[in-house]
Amino acid sequence: MSEPTGGFERATLEAMRRFLAIAFVVGGAGTLTELFLLEHTEDFWQWTPLVLIGMSIVAFVALGARPTKSAVRITQALMVLVLLSGALGVFFHFKGNIEFEKEMYPSMTGFELIWESLTGATPSLAPGAMALLGLVGLIYCYRHPAVRTVQV
């Protein structure tokens, strides 16, 4: 005979969802602060993660205050954009470092060029934090109660 666990499982899922929301908001605020401190504001592409994180934090707060299906969908869309922004950021940082290394050392190729580009002046993998934030947000939205439909 199995014990009724519906209430316990529901409470666990709600707690995990709250922890994910807190992780996103704290991580987003920290990343946003870091980008401002680094003056990551020179052009459109550098402003993109700042705007996306800001909008995402607002979306999370709104979703927490009023969980509706449309709020979940907006948050999911923003999370996909945050994830893509992180992937593009890794690409742009790495590409910029390769160009810099090739300008400084035109004969550099192969593994040495890749290594120097990964460890260059612009942190190549730092935008991966954006991708992680996007994944955390998508996990938060996964099977969110506000989008569940009642089945008879």
**pLDDT of 4 over the 60 cut:** no
Residues of the chain above pLDDT 90, percent? 85
Q: Quote the CA–CA distance of 129 and 33 in Å, as a whole number.
A: 13
Stretch 77-90: mean pLDDT: 96
In the structure, what pLDDT confidence band is assigned to residue 1 with cuts at 50, 70 and 90?
very low
- What pLDDT does residue 149 have? 66
103 pLDDT tier (thresholds 50, 70, 90) = very high
87, pLDDT greater than 70: yes
| Mean pLDDT of the region 88-111 | 94
Name the more confident of 122 and 134: 134
pTM: 0.86
Query: What pLDDT is recorded for position 68?
Result: 95
The pLDDT value given to residue 5: 62
